Chain A
Amino acid sequence: MRRYTYYPGCTLYTKARSLDLCARKAAEKVGFELAEMPTWNCCGAIYNATSDDLAAQVGPVRNLAKASQLGDKLVTLCAACHNVLKRVQNRLDQPGNEVESERLKTFVDERYERSVRVMHYLEVLKQDIGFEAIKSKVVKPLAKLKVASYYGCLMVRPKEVLEFDDAENPQVMDDLMRALGAEPTRFDFKAECCGGYLVVNRRDVAKSASHRILDNAKAWGAEAIVTTCPLCQYNLDKLRVVTDGSLPVFYFTQLLGVAVGLGQDELGFEHNAGDPIEFLKTKGLL
């Protein structure tokens, strides 16, 4: 079974732990293992773009150094962690940036072995496992459940660095949903921001941004939304005015787990608002 060095990140390790466990179990069913790094620290949660702030890069560089000792790939389940780590790795590798890069690498105590390829769980599914193989592992096809794939802004931008599919209309998660037997709906807000960290001090702004996303998904006939980042999942799920049971917001690995036959209690549903179990039962999926 393929083994990947895995970086969970703060939220998936604590508040969204159930999502992390679900994802690991789903991975095993599909054919790979997530081996958590023995020690790791906060990735920084958001990339610092100021040209001269090297201190802000130290956290992620330390993680990359540790990961580099364990292999040449680093997998993360959270779009925000993926965004920071991949952008920092890119910054270290940028031609012309050698002086800054050396400073950072020599500053951390951990030995920096090599450049690491930072991958999101979705990229592992698409590039290393392949959707055909995943399809063959599906025991409970998702009964044409209409799903809107919400990637969020950090998953696809900046496009030159992340190189994750088309930045305006990505298809990777839609293709995954299709492979699992669901029906990906058209959706115009796939990569529009949910408000992100503005939920802390400008909840109103995050709320209206998230609502727009939900409204558009509904307008296209979606019955559920899947996300790639625990913060997006929170904003879409918990900030809305009406939680009428419609449009549950799942983490993509939850639906993956349902499709590959994980048990009801292994899917982390305590994390979602409303009653996702009831919803899935009405769809005949549980």
Chain B
Amino acid sequence: MMQEPAEPLKKKQPRVGVFVCHCGINIAGVVKIPELLERVGIMPDVVVAKDYKYCCSDPGQQMIRDSINSDKLDRVVVACCSPTLHETTFRNACAEAGLNSYQCEIANIREQCAWVTEDKDKATDKATEIVRTTKAKVENDLPLDAITVPINKRALVVGAGIAGIQAALDIANAGYEVVLVEKEPSIGGHMAQLSETFPTLDCSQCILTPRTVETGRHPKIKLMTYSEVDAVSGYVGNFKVKIRQKARYVDFKTCTGCGVCLEKCPGRTEGRFERGLTKGKAIYRLLPQAVPNKPVIDAKSCIYLTKGKCGNCAKVCPTGAIHYDDTDKFVEEEVGAIVLATGYELFDAARLGSYGFGLVPDVVDGLAFERLLSASGPTSGEVKRPSDGKTPKKIVFVQCAGSRDSTNGMPYCSKICCMYTAKQAILYRHRVHDGQATICYIDVRTPGKGFEEFYKRATDDGIQYLRGKVSKIFRQGDKVMVWASDTLAGRKVELEADMVVLATAVVANPDGVALARKLKTQIDAHGFMTEAHPKLRPVETLTAGFFLAGCGQGPKDIPETVAQASAAAAKVLAMFGNTRLTHSPTTAQVDEEICVGCGYCERTCAYDAVKVDAARKKAVVNAALCEGCGACAVACPSGAMTHKNATKKAIFEMADTF
């Protein structure tokens, strides 16, 4: 009997389903859907071409799922909006119907087609080509499984202002260990410098210290003060952090916090905490309620460390806790998530040339005035002016000192100044009953709960609001002259004051900016950390595993900071609630037979995801770190590096469709 010749192994023809979304009128208003369907329907291997008004809706997804089963589809193309919006939606829908998620591709015919033209014919032509190209890609897609990685359920919080403190407490109270790193000797950030907080006029220390004490005592919080993050390696769920513990010269284990050393120190620093109103001492605590309540020595101003003389503190210390031979130490911690809460600074008002800051001693900035108001400040809470210690009877508060100015790089509104200026004026009048306060403003912004009522309280108290941005501030005799205007009356006004307070612009903490650059997390043009999406993802970054909280992300007040910190903690806890983390499998892959270990890929990678194994001279991809950007595949001169589901063959076939 003659045998039938064996059938040559035929490549199985793919069965592609194309689903075109109207997206209401977003796509359908420009792209001619019936025509598109017709053209798509006759493309080879397209088994079914359907349309729906909103594919992302439940019925839309159901239509796709049903079609996968009834039409026996093994590839799906959804022609709709940008994949950043619904790729996950449709891939999940396909998975539910039994099709591998990675054999479903999105053809963006909205942002890249319907939204960039009003010409319907051109739009329909372009949409056809986009679908054709995407079909070429999906036909080359192999089924892939998501990668999973373990999670180290420990968190790192960088910065222990109120944002960092809140985030650390929330994570620690859920039972996970937190490493809290703070560059100052004690925690509390700028909130510790404030006198009272708006709109409740709570004493800042009174509401802050319960948190700081809890943080200092928490069994799950490993507090590292006077420390800075030096380097971070690894990837989400598996970070290795190198922390520099700066030399303190005081042994925290033996120091009792008695404070005798503070009395005897002759060395002087610029007094940053007091904003330069008084000089600090070389051995110092930031404030009496400091957590931890142990001093450190500032090496640059210590007479012993710089000149070898003095040594008073060591002489008087009852426990011998002073060690002049201390050095910086490095510690390595392993964590799974990092919260960046590096906070803000105030713009250096000396750079506002016409405002006299630095030239006229009685012109101070907002934080300096807080120190004057604060009971633990240099004047014990009595409002005295820096030049002669007299009580100022007339203070002019200048809002928008630097903010809302496109010519100096700070076109944004600093958000907190209108409220804190009203607060400072109210507190001043409370301390100095016959004091007069004038606030020069452009607008008064009171968006929070109770804020507008607070502003009314200020005006009810007789505080004068003068609408007009100040142009110049200078000294005349022992008065400070302010050139302002009353735009509501249409006149220039010259004010004579005893003291001027500048509400200077809020800028990102420069140390935070430097850290972001080191870590390669995104910052915007002003140095504020960039959130993953301005509306829907305000506490995440685009770098997996890094979260944001507080003013490091943008100017905001305490209630918003606390809310954001808790939100960031919630994201961390959501991550920790999993057993393992999934990671997209569309990563780079090395063909070891071709690879010669030239290292071009390693140099190109922005994520440190590919390294050449020196012994074998082969590139090795860490799929967990790889973000699938494709740069290494492009850089590879031999073609050894390819990209899963975006191979050279696939790309050439996509290009050939034109």
Contacts and interface: CB of A to CB of B under 8 A. Distances in A.
A270 interface: no
A139 B477 CA distance: 35
B353 A167 contact: yes
Contacts of A189: 474
Interface in B338-370: 353-354, 356, 359
B475 interface: yes
Size bracket of the A interface: 10 to 19
A168 B475 contact: no
Contact of B476 (A167, A168, A169, A215): A215
A162 to B, nearest CB: 15
Contacts of A216: 474, 476
Nearest to A215: B476
**A interface, by DSSP: helix, strand, loop or mixed?**
loop
Contacts of A188: 356, 359, 472, 474-475
A169 B353 contact: yes
Contacts of A117: none
A176 B619 CA distance: 64
A219 B475 contact: yes
A158 to B, nearest CB: 12
B409 to A, nearest CB: 15
Interface in B356-404: 356, 359
Contacts, number: 21
B516 to A, nearest CB: 31
**B interface, by DSSP: helix, strand, loop or mixed?**
mixed
- Identify which of A167, A215, A216 gathers the most chain B CB atoms within 10 Å of its CB: A216
A220 B474 CA distance: 11
A102 to B, nearest CB: 32
Contacts of A167: 353
Interface string A251-275: 0000000000000000000000000
Interface in B181-230: none
Size bracket of the B interface: under 10
Contacts of B475: 188, 219-220
A188 B476 CA distance: 9
A151 to B, nearest CB: 13
Interface in B297-317: none
Interface in B472-523: 472, 474-477
A186 interface: yes
A240 B354 CA distance: 26
Interface in A185-223: 186, 188-189, 192, 215-216, 219-220
B351 to A, nearest CB: 10
Contacts of A168: 353-354
A28 interface: no
Contacts of B477: 219
Contacts of A192: 472
Interface string A87-107: 000000000000000000000
A225 to B, nearest CB: 16
A269 B277 CA distance: 47
A166 interface: yes
A101 B353 CA distance: 35
Contacts of A166: 353
Contacts of A186: 359
A215 B472 CA distance: 16
Nearest to B494: A212
Contacts of B476: 215-216, 219
A150 B499 CA distance: 26
Nearest to B355: A168
Interface string A171-188: 000000000000000101
Nearest to B353: A168
Interface in B419-441: none
Contacts of B356: 188
Nearest to B478: A219
Nearest to A170: B353
Nearest to A220: B475
A186 B356 CA distance: 11
Interface in A43-92: none
Contacts of B354: 168
A166 B352 CA distance: 11
Nearest to B359: A186
In the A-B complex, the 8 residue pairs with the smallest Cβ-Cβ separation, listed nearest first, are A168-B353, A188-B474, A168-B354, A219-B476, A169-B353, A219-B477, A166-B353, A186-B359
Given A188-B472, A188-B474, A219-B476, 17 more contacts: A166-B353, A167-B353, A168-B353, A168-B354, A169-B359, A186-B359, A188-B356, A188-B359, A188-B475, A189-B474, A192-B472, A215-B476, A216-B474, A216-B476, A219-B475, A219-B477, A220-B475
10 contacts: A166-B353, A168-B354, A186-B359, A188-B356, A188-B359, A188-B474, A192-B472, A216-B474, A216-B476, A219-B476
